Structure 1
Amino acid sequence: MTKEKKPQQVFTLLVEIGRKPGDGLPKGATGAALMCYASGVDEPEAVRETVAVLKQAELAPLDVNGYGTLEERLEQGHDISDEERGLMERALAENSVIVAQMTPFFEDTAGGPH
């Protein structure tokens, strides 16, 4: 009896990372948010692969939020650019994790939002 292989899908993930020596984040950053597109047969697999890749890259993943597949995001009314769709297609074609955007966090010493 052969198990039917599920097709790969691409999931949009927002990963919060902390600081770690050699992580390449800007001086003074306390961490960062990474927008990633990751392929997997389901979201838990995409999350596991993303965390593994980020750890290999000397990053310290702290938390992952999943935003679903392209279809799920469209159903939720998300506006998805051609550039974003292209990165998703690339993640699927390469069976990979693509970091599309990094936003560093800085602690505000004045106490207000930064």
Structure 2
Amino acid sequence: MAKDKKPHHVYTLLVEVGRMDGDGLPEGATGAALMCYASGVDEAEAVRETVAILKQADMNPLDVSGYGTLEDRLAEGHDIDADERALMDRALAENAVIVAQLTPFFED
């Protein structure tokens, strides 16, 4: 008897990372913010998968903020362009975590 697969959704996550040896962040950066699109049956699974992938990439996730699914964001009035939608579609098709943007933090 085959188990029914729950449908996956793509969640928009903002992940703050601290420094760690081998993290690939620019010299002098104190950390970074990563905008990610992650597939999961719910947001909790998307967060777990994203944190696990970032740790495998020698990054140090400190905090994750969830912004919901495409439908959630549209309901809140977010403007989502074709490039962003394409990345979300890719995350869903590949059951993957896509890092769409990395913004390093620097001390003043």
With structure 2 as the length reference, what TM-score do the two structures score? Answer: 0.96
Aligned position for 1:112: none
Residue 89 of structure 1 pairs with residue 95 of structure 2: no
Residues 35-114 of structure 1: pairs in structure 2 closer than 5 A: 35-108=35-108
Q: What is the root-mean-square deviation of aligned Cα atoms in Å?
A: 1.2
Match of 1:6 in 2: 6
1:23 and 2:41 aligned: no
Q: CA deviation at 1:60?
A: 0.3
Give distance in 2, aligned partners of 1:49 and 1:11.
11
1:5 is displaced (CA, Å) by 2.9
Q: Quick one: which amino acid aligns to residue 62 of structure 2?
A: L
Aligned residue pairs: how many?
108
- Where structure 2 has 5 or more consecutive residues not aligned to the other structure, the ranges are none
Deviation at 1:6, TM superposition (A): 1.7
| Structure 1 unmatched ranges of 5 or more | 109-114
The separation in 2 between residues aligned to 1:96 and 1:2, in whole angstroms, is: 23
Q: Distance in 1 between matches of 2:35 and 2:4?
A: 31
Alignment TM-score, normalising by the size of structure 1: 0.91
Moved over 4 A (4+): 1-4
